[in-house]
Amino acid sequence: GERRASSWLVYRGVPVVGATVLLWVVKLAVLGVLLYSAFWLALLLVCVVAVGWAANQSHSDEEFHLQFPTTLEELRETPGYAPNLYNDTSHEMYKDDD
């Protein structure tokens, strides 16, 4: 097919060197398009694998702990607890500032 295209170009008046260069330009353009497509397909594959790996990571509820107290009793046990800051009137150390 390449010889036929080269012969057809030469028959149409394109110099032999010009036909050869034109065919190489077409070959390189096709190669560039293929490499460009392969790059994006590989990147898509890497993203799909990364998403699948992340989705496969198990997160059990037993390992989940809140970083802040959820009840008033837990709050009172934290270091530096001041009942006036939380308006905890039922605490024995609460002082009314009135």
Q: Is residue 42 part of a domain?
A: yes
Residue type for position 84: N
As for how many domains the chain has, the answer is 1
Is the pTM above the cut of 0.75? Answer: no
Indicate if the alpha-carbon torsion angle 26, 27, 28, 30 is positive or negative: positive
pLDDT tens per residue across span 39-92: 999 999 999 999 999 888 876 666 666 677 777 777 777 777 777 766 676 776
pLDDT of the residue at 31: 98
Q: Which residue has the tokens 């070959």?
A: 27
Q: Is residue 95 part of a domain?
A: no
Q: Is residue 92 part of a domain?
A: no
**Angle separating helix axes 16-56 and 2-11, nearest 10 degrees:** 140
Residue-range definition of the domain harbouring residue 41: 2-58
Cα within 13 Å of Cα(72), Cβ side: 8
Q: Is residue 47 part of a domain?
A: yes
Q: Is residue 77 part of a domain?
A: no
- What is the 8-class DSSP label of residue 68? S
pLDDT tens per residue across span 14-38: 899 989 999 999 999 999 999 999 9
